[in-house]
C-alpha cells in the first residue's frame, strides 16, 4: 500500500456532482484525507489529470452528446426499437424507458450468460423488454410484469411488432403479487427490476427465490442524481433504494455492486447482483 497521503480541501475543483459526492462521503470534515490508492473512485478522477484542473463541469447535455457519439459507432439505428418508442409516446406513456446504451447493455449482459429465461419487473412500453428478448435463443422465454393495463397493452403491441410475441409475455397486475405466484422450480437466468422504487426490497427478495445460482439481478435507478447518498434528501423512491441497500449489506445470498452512470437519462445507476 502506498503510504503517501494527499490532502484536498472539500472544494478542490471538484465541480461536477459525482466528484462532489466522492469528496463528501468518506469524511464529513472540511479537509479530506485519503491515501493514494483509496478510494479508487477518487484516484480514477486524479490519474488522467495528475494535479491539473479537472475538465469543465459537465451536465446532462454533455452526457447526452457523449451517448449519441458512442452510440453512433456501436449501436446502429433500429427501426423496430424506434417504432416501439414512437408508439409508446403516441399513446401517452411516460418517457422513462432505459436509454439506448442501457438497453444494449442489458442485451449484452443477457447474451454473456446465455440467458434462456428472463424476468422483468416494470414493462412500460416494452423497450427494455425488446432489448432483453432479442438476447434469447429460439427456445428462450421472457416474462415481464406490469401493473398498468394501458402500458401492458402497448408493450404487447410493440413486442408483437418486434417479432417477440409470444416469446416475451406480459403479465398485467401488481409486480410483487405476480412474482409471488411464479414457481421457484423454473429458475430465471436474469431478472431486471425497474418498477416502483419503494417496493425494491420486496422485488429483490422474490428475485432471489426465482433466480438460479450464478444468475444476475439488476435493479435500476438506485443513484438518483446522487440523492440516495445525500442524508438531507428523502422521498419514497430514495427510501426504497436505501431499504434495499441496508438489506444487501448483510445479505450473504448475493454479491453486489452499484454502477453509477451518466448519460442522456441523467446521473443515475444500477445495482448489479449475482446470486451465490
Ligand atoms: C421505469 S418504467 C419501466 C421501463 C422499462 N423497463 C423500460 O426501460 O422500457 C416503470 C414501469 O413500472 C410500472 N409499475 C409501477 N408500479 C408497479 C407495480 N407495483 N407492479 C408492476 N409494475 C409497476 C409502471 O407502470 C411503469 O410502466
Q: Is 103 in the pocket of ligand 1 (CB under 6 A)?
A: no
pLDDT tens digits, one per residue of 96-120 = 999 999 999 999 999 999 999 999 9
How far is Cα 133 from Cα 104, in angstroms, rounded to an integer?
11
Question: What distances in angstroms separate CA 77 from CA 100, 130, 265, one per listed residue?
Answer: 10, 15, 18
Which atom of ligand 1 lies nearest, measured to the CA of 199? 19
Cβ distance 265 to 220 under 8 Å? no
C-beta of 128 in contact with ligand 1 (< 6 A): yes
For ligand 1, say whether the CB of 175 is within 6 Å of any of its atoms: yes
Q: Is residue 151 in contact with ligand 1, taking CB distance under 6 Å?
A: yes
State the distance from the centre of ligand 1 to the C-alpha of 53, rounded, in angstroms: 41
Mean pLDDT of 190-196: 99
pLDDT on residue 51? 63
Task: Name the average pLDDT for the chain.
Answer: 86
pLDDT at 56: 81
- Ligand 1 centroid to Cα of residue 194, in Å, is 6
Q: Is 206 in the pocket of ligand 1 (CB under 6 A)?
A: no
Cis peptide before 39 (omega within 30 of 0): yes
pLDDT digits (tens, 9 = 90+) for 25-84: 223 222 222 222 334 444 344 555 566 677 789 999 999 999 999 999 999 999 999 999
What does the pLDDT read at residue 16? 34
CATH 3.40.50.150 applies to domain 73-275? yes
Q: In the prediction, which pLDDT does 53 show?
A: 73
The CB of 154 under 6 Å from ligand 1? The reply is: no
Mean pLDDT of 258-263: 98
Does the Cβ of 220 fall within 6 Å of ligand 1?
A: no
Better pLDDT: 165 or 22: 165
Concatenated DSSP letters of the chain: ----EEEEETTSS--SHHHHHHHHSS--SSEEEEETTSSHHHHHHHTTTTTSPPPPP--HHHHHHHHHHHHHHHS---HHHHHHHHHHHHTT--S-SPPHHHHHHHHHHHHHTT-SEEEEE--TTSHHHHHHHTTS-TT-EEEEEES-HHHHHHHHHHHHHTT-TTTEEEEES-HHHHHHTS-SSS-EEEEEE-S-GGGHHHHHHHHHHHEEEEEEEEEE--STTTGGG-TT---HHHHHHHHHHHHHHT-SSEEEEEEEEEETTEEEEEEEEEE-
Q: Which atom of ligand 1 lies at the shortest distance from residue 129's CA? A: 9
Question: Which position has the higher pLDDT, 111 or 16?
Answer: 111
Distance from Cα 159 to the centre of ligand 1, integer Å: 16
| CB of 174 shorter than 6 A to ligand 1 | yes
Question: Would you place residue 20 in the very low, low, confident or very high pLDDT band (cuts 50, 70, 90)?
Answer: very low
pLDDT of residue 47: 54
Is 84 close to ligand 1, i.e. is its CB under 6 Å away?
A: no
Q: Which of 102, 122, 266 to mutate to test the pocket of ligand 1 (most atoms within 8 A of CB)?
A: 122
Residue 199 has pLDDT above 70, yes or no: yes
Task: Note the pLDDT tens digit of each residue in 215-242.
Answer: 999 999 999 999 999 999 999 999 999 9
Domains of the chain by residue range:
73-275
Q: For ligand 1, is residue 58 a contact (CB within 6 Å)?
A: no
Q: With a 6 A CB cut-off, is 238 part of the ligand 1 pocket?
A: no
Distance CA 226, CA 22 (A): 10
Mean pLDDT of all residues in 135-155? 98
Q: Report the nearest-CA residue for atom 27 of ligand 1.
A: 124
Amino acid at each position: 500500500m502506498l503510504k503517501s497521503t494527499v490532502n484536498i480541501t472539500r472544494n478542490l475543483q471538484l465541480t461536477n456532482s459525482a466528484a462532489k459526492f466522492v469528496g463528501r462521503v468518506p469524511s464529513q470534515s472540511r479537509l479530506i484525507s485519503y491515501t493514494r490508492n483509496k478510494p479508487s473512485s477518487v484516484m480514477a478522477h486524479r490519474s488522467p489529470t495528475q494535479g491539473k484542473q479537472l475538465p469543465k463541469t459537465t451536465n446532462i447535455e454533455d452526457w447526452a452528446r457523449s451517448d449519441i457519439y458512442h452510440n453512433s459507432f456501436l449501436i446502429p439505428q433500429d427501426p423496430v426499437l424506434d417504432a416501439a418508442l414512437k408508439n409508446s409516446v403516441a399513446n401517452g406513456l411516460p418517457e422513462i424507458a432505459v436509454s439506448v446504451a442501457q438497453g444494449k447493455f442489458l442485451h449484452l449482459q443477457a447474451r454473456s450468460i446465455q440467458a434462456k429465461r428472463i424476468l422483468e419487473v416494470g414493462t412500460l412500453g416494452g423497450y427494455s423488454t425488446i432489448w432483453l428478448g432479442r438476447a434469447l435463443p429460439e427456445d428462450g422465454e421472457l416474462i415481464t410484469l406490469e401493473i398498468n393495463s394501458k402500458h401492458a397493452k402497448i408493450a404487447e403491441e410493440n413486442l408483437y411488432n418486434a417479432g417477440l410475441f409470444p416469446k416475451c409475455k406480459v403479465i398485467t397486475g401488481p409486480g410483487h403479487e405476480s412474482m409471488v405466484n411464479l414457481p421457484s422450480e423454473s429458475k430465471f437466468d436474469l431478472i431486471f427490476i425497474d418498477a416502483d422504487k419503494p417496493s425494491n426490497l420486496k422485488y429483490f427478495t422474490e428475485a432471489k427465490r426465482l433466480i438460479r445460482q450464478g444468475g444476475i439481478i439488476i435493479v435500476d435507478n438506485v443513484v438518483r442524481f446522487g440523492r440516495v447518498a445525500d442524508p438531507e434528501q428523502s422521498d419514497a423512491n430514495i427510501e426504497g433504494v436505501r431499504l434495499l441497500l441496508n438489506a444487501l449489506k448483510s445479505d450473504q445470498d448475493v454479491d453486489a455492486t452499484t454502477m453509477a452512470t451518466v448519460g442522456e437519462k441523467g446521473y443515475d445507476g444500477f445495482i448489479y447482483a449475482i446470486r451465490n
